[in-house]
Structure 1
Amino acid sequence: MGAAQPPAAGGGYPPPPGDINLGVSGFGIEPPKKSRKGLVIGISAAVVLALGGGGAWAAASFFGTDGTDTETKLPASTAAFASFNLDVSKSQQLELLDLIEKFPESDVKSDDPEKAVAEFMKMLEDDDEDFAKGKFSEWVGLSTSIALWEHDGKPYALATVASTDDGKAKEGLTALQKDSGGEADMGFEVKDGTATMAFGEDKSQAAAKAAVKEAEKDPLSESDKFADAAEFLGEGQVVTAWADLEQAYKLGKESVPQSEYGGDPFSMMGDFEKNMKGQIAVGAKADDFGIEIVSSTFGAKDVTEGKEGLMDKLSKSPDADIAGAFALPDDFSESLGAAAGGLLTGGLTGAPGQDPNGETQAIFDALSGATGTFGMTGLTGAPQGQAVIETTSADKANTLKGLADSTGGEIEATVEGNTVTGKSSGYSPSGKLSGHKYYSDAVGGAPEAINYAMFMDVTKMMDEQDKKEMGALKAVGVAFGSKGGESVGNVRLIIE
């Protein structure tokens, strides 16, 4: 299993055929109102640790999963999961702890992973008496996951948590179960160092037992549908997320209660459903420069091919605090353009979908099939910058120049053939982006064929309070594209 091309996303994550939310509500699991708080707290022994406000430890935990242990504990019929695993190589643990030390505001100071997890759990327990009933600080180990799973035709959220003391785990989860509405809403099984929890609207205890039984006989780690993702992710990932897009979408669509949303939230997605094919995998771990997040789809439908040579153009563009490159599809106007145009004109005129002068649609028509780069400086003061856009015709380039000219001199534009260059009045470029201190590391994992990429010097965007809390984060590089007919992505956080 080797590293390849997030993020997600964050997401770090690529523009897959779907936008998968791995939270409990995103899974479509909506427990009864009475027990919702307890259930969400119980299930997030994993998720809160990874995503919560625990300073740098939580941040490093989220972005850093050998998911091997997790996949062996989940049933093969799992639709989607996200996992956090500190039980990785010693070198990876040291890398993570070294990153944490760079954030002086971290609430967790221990240099021992198990003690750090216990400290963080204790902090959460001190802040929330419901969470404290689970006594997680006394038994939670170094790996955990949250998953979406179907049992007897009903969706359930599953959580697996490594246990350092099965007796204390049973004691804590029994108390939490009673507080959360009983076996119907929350079920659990503790066995051989792993606590498996199930959350649903009915028969959750039976679901938990069934999940453990299936995982023992037929684990996700040995299923054919997970094989490509396993090879891509490799070993040593601290965070892993994976989804069978079609199955996860189906469960979510069937289980989201329409009454709470004033209608079917999936109806707004139109033809989007037809693109929910294949799988997506995301992994993240620490590296010398900070944290790297990689992502890829497998068997995806209608993947937009990226353009080669764009990263070279970006590297040669002027130095900037934030810069990017993009390659828009030929049907941009008909897909994203139409949707965005409707939102923009609706927001401005109060009449969604109306574009009285046709200006918005003309802009998106001109951008269809275009490639380009942009950069800006002075983001916290008086922003200045430029964009260079290569369109597919001289007419389209002139359309964009006309837009710039309508700003009354704020943007100066010139056209040469199919290419329009626009820059803010008074802008004077200095140096190349390739010479920026953090640029090479930030975009070092970019795929060759790019759909879009971005570099951000975070130090130029922080106020004094931000610098105090997150000053170790210096830059972010984001690159998404295609490889072998799949969407791939790479996100890097530069930390020093």
Structure 2
Amino acid sequence: MSAETPPGASFPENPDPDRTIEHRTPQPWQAATNDAHTRQLPYGSAEELGFNVPDNAPAKRGRGWLIAAVSALFVLILGGGGVWAFSQLNGGGTQPQDVLPGNAIAYVRLDLDPAANQKVALLAIGRKFPGIKDSLSDDDPRKALFEAIKGDSPDLSKVDYAKDVEPWLGDRAGLAVLPPGGKGKEPGVAAAVQVKDEAAARDGIAKLAAGDDYGLAFRDGYAILAQTQAEADGYAKAATLSQNAEFGGDTAAVGEPGVMSFWVNIGKMLEATGSTQGLDTSMLQSITGTRFAGALRFDDDYAELAGITRGGKPTQIDAQPVKIAELPASTVGAVSLSGLGDGFAKQWPVIQKAAQANPDGQVFTKSLEQFQQLYGISIPDDVVTLLGKSLTIALDQEGLDAQQPNVGAVLTTDPVKAQGIVAKLQGVLAGSGAPVQLAIKPGDGQLVVASTQAYADKLGTKGTLGDSESFKLAIPEADKATYAMYVDLDKLEPLYLDGLKGEEKANLQVLRAVGLSGSYAGSTEMTLRILFN
């Protein structure tokens, strides 16, 4: 749907059925239709679901950003130990996109009442962290969110949550960025906040926004907030974002919306903010019509951030599935990228053109020529050869505490040409005063470069990392991924657990692994997972 679509226009349906609990789904976004008889769930408290954490666990500060983030999320979603969350397990109902304008160019949504499978998964993760209940001191996550926003703000000092906010505030909120109203104007903004009582909401919002100009209208159980009253009234009558075919298709491709979801038309957003100025034609063509959608969701064993880029005219590169699963089983961390050589070759003319357009472009060109003459390295040809069809960099568990850890790279390329270029690079390093002796192992269509010969030999042999349960969970469909990154935190624990004690150490031991993977063949897909023991 375009920004000019008139109110009342017809769009394809984009249903959002309620979901039931699935005890252990292979994919957390798969859900069944929630019939009336499935809404009564046999759960009444956190304890009945096994959320057993000590009541006397001491409060601690400085647990680290990840633990703090998990704690904050539980405050927002589960409230006091999960009791609040399981009072409304059905989820479903009207979402912010069902009331916000359909010509939005960006959107973000927070759902404190997500589908039931998400709440169950969150609770399962929560009970893995010792002492997490200390961060769940309030039965109402909305109050926790309000207090966090309120902080020490003098403007909100007279606002009482129980009297002015709780009687009307619902569980969901969304924010939409809208196209500018004319040339030279700023993008518009509209917010949708779920409400339980319109009259109480009107009074409460007036107190919250005392002294500010704003517009307020109501639609299907939501307060629509805008910069002016005319805008709010218009948004409340316009065709909705959920009726926008592009939005519906993009979010459906992501799957389960989880606790938080977001969507942006990248091309229109850059245009609305004036960020397209100075971009060359090819760059503009690549982003025009490009959209990104994503969601934060949970399974019993991991948190997942999933996203997909659709539309536009991305540069087509020859990207084949990476072979990160064939690394040694003792691998601690690795990153593998496909199609870098082909991508660099196709982007090099664009890079040159951009450099020449820069005031220092002549300096760049001259420096590049001198470098090639001095070291005999050809750019872009030698770079394309080194990057090859795929590039995998790995770190091994063996030797982590040694002065020279086992680190290496597997280049899927012409091994003879690549070996000659590596020799030239060693000469460059030697000339800079940092001589490095690299071990080399040529193979069939690949070259291994490593810190030691023993590790080069190990990398040159097909390994079994892909058989690891942690790897399989962190990198779903690894055989189809054209890029992947994996870190086994359990194998890294000796490096950061020493010296830690008690709850802090126990919390970090819960973290199991991190994986990032996806494909950029056609539309770009990504999945980021944090695994828990």
Report the TM-score when normalising by structure 1. 0.70
Change in CA separation of 1:334 and 1:132 when aligned onto 2, cut-off 3 Å: farther
Contact 2:71 2:132 in 1 (8 A): no
Give 1:247 shift.
2.0
* Larger strand percent: 1
State the secondary structure of the residue aligned to 1:357. Answer: helix
Mapping for residues 140-155 of structure 1, pairs under 5 Å:
140-150=169-179, 152-153=181-182, 154=185, 155=187
Aligned to 1:477: 515
Change in CA separation of 1:274 and 1:377 when aligned onto 2, cut-off 3 Å: same
Change in CA separation of 1:168 and 1:364 when aligned onto 2, cut-off 3 Å: farther
Residue 102 (1) aligns with residue 128 (2): yes
**For residues 332 and 393 of structure 1, what CA distance do their matches in structure 2 show?**
19
Give 1:495 shift.
2.0
Mapping for residues 69-80 of structure 1, pairs under 5 Å:
69-80=95-106
Contact 1:373 1:388 in 2 (8 A): yes
Aligned to 2:143: 118
Aligned to 1:289: 301
Mapping for residues 173-192 of structure 1, pairs under 5 Å:
173-179=205-211, 182-183=212-213, 186-192=214-220
Q: Deviations over 1:87-126 (max 9, x none)?
A: 22223212123323434457641696xx123223224424
Alignment partner for residue 451 of structure 1, among 461, 482, 491? 482
Change in CA separation of 1:68 and 1:372 when aligned onto 2, cut-off 3 Å: farther
Quick one: which amino acid aligns to residue 366 of structure 1?
T
Contact 2:96 2:174 in 1 (8 A): yes
Alignment partner for residue 357 of structure 1, among 367, 371, 383? 371
Mapping for residues 94-243 of structure 1, pairs under 5 Å:
94-103=120-129, 104=131, 108-109=135-136, 115-130=140-155, 138=166, 139-150=168-179, 152-153=181-182, 154=185, 155-179=187-211, 182-183=212-213, 186-198=214-226, 204-214=228-238, 218-235=239-256, 237-243=258-264
Quick one: which amino acid aligns to residue 297 of structure 1?
T
Change in CA separation of 1:296 and 1:375 when aligned onto 2, cut-off 3 Å: same
Residue 489 (1) aligns with residue 500 (2): no
Alignment partner for residue 415 of structure 1, among 442, 446, 454? 442
Contact 1:63 1:293 in 2 (8 A): no
Where in structure 1 are there 5+ consecutive unaligned residues? 3-50, 254-263
Change in CA separation of 1:74 and 1:90 when aligned onto 2, cut-off 3 Å: same
Quick one: which amino acid aligns to residue 286 of structure 2?
N
**For residues 223 and 284 of structure 1, what CA distance do their matches in structure 2 show?**
22
Give 1:418 shift.
4.5
Contact 1:337 1:361 in 2 (8 A): no
Report the TM-score when normalising by structure 2. 0.66
Aligned to 1:39: none
State the secondary structure of the residue aligned to 2:114. Answer: coil
Alignment partner for residue 390 of structure 1, among 409, 412, 425? 412
State the secondary structure of the residue aligned to 1:395. Answer: helix
Give the number of aligned pairs.
Answer: 416
| C-alpha RMSD over aligned residues | 4.1
Contact 2:266 2:290 in 1 (8 A): yes
State the secondary structure of the residue aligned to 1:450. Answer: coil
Give 1:271 shift.
4.2
Quick one: which amino acid aligns to residue 338 of structure 2?
A
State the secondary structure of the residue aligned to 2:210. Answer: helix
Aligned to 2:9: none
**For residues 165 and 58 of structure 1, what CA distance do their matches in structure 2 show?**
27
Larger Rg: 2
Contact 1:401 1:414 in 2 (8 A): no
Which structure is richer in relative contact order (CA contacts within 8 A, separation 6 or more)?
1
Residue 434 (1) aligns with residue 466 (2): yes
Quick one: which amino acid aligns to residue 178 of structure 2?
W
**For residues 436 and 115 of structure 2, what CA distance do their matches in structure 1 show?**
57
Alignment partner for residue 392 of structure 2, among 370, 373, 383? 373
Where in structure 2 are there 5+ consecutive unaligned residues? 1-14, 17-64, 79-90, 430-434
